[in-house]
Amino acid sequence: MSTVVETVDVAVPVRTAYNQWTQFEQFPRFMEGVTEVRQLDNTHLHWVVDIAGVHREFDAEITEQHPDERIAWNSLDGPRHAGVVTFHRLDESHTRVTAQMEIDPDGFVEKVGDKAGIVDMRVKGDMKRFREYIESRGVETGAWRGDVDRPMP
């Protein structure tokens, strides 16, 4: 299992950054290799990714979501991964967004890519593209302000 942590500061208020991140179906606009994300309900997502010639589809569950603070998830099938994205208000017009993920590469290509640091580079690029995407817009494409708090087993 590998851990990836990446932080980016964005020049938008925390509410705007958080609201945009809740628009999961927009992820292909800034996440490399993500072909599609479908939100099935308030806590379930279906992902389609094509990375280095490998096509994967999997479902993920949002396990915790608190407006303007954090969104946490884990995969339900496919390659095992889990993570959390946190949002920290720096001032009225700047936000620090931090993504922390635990990834268990599945298959030869993913394992080689992980060892070569490609996963880290991809997440770094995705966060940079998120910053460019939200700053160029200045406003979010939508918002979901619901609260999710899954009890621990």
Q: Which domains are assigned to the chain?
A: 2-23+60-139 (3.30.530.20)
Report d(CA 136, CA 133) in Å as an integer: 5
C-alpha distances in Å from residue 111, one per residue of 81, 99, 119: 13, 21, 10
pLDDT in tens, the chain (153 residues): 788 999 999 999 999 999 999 999 999 999 999 999 999 999 999 999 987 778 889 999 999 999 999 999 999 998 788 999 999 999 999 999 999 999 876 765 565 555 556 678 889 999 999 999 999 999 999 999 999 987 655
Report d(CA 121, CA 101) in Å as an integer: 13
Give the chain's largest Cα–Cα span: 45
The Cβ of residue 53 has, within 10 Å, a number of other Cβ atoms equal to 6
The dihedral through the CA atoms of 68, 6, 36, 104 has a sign that is negative
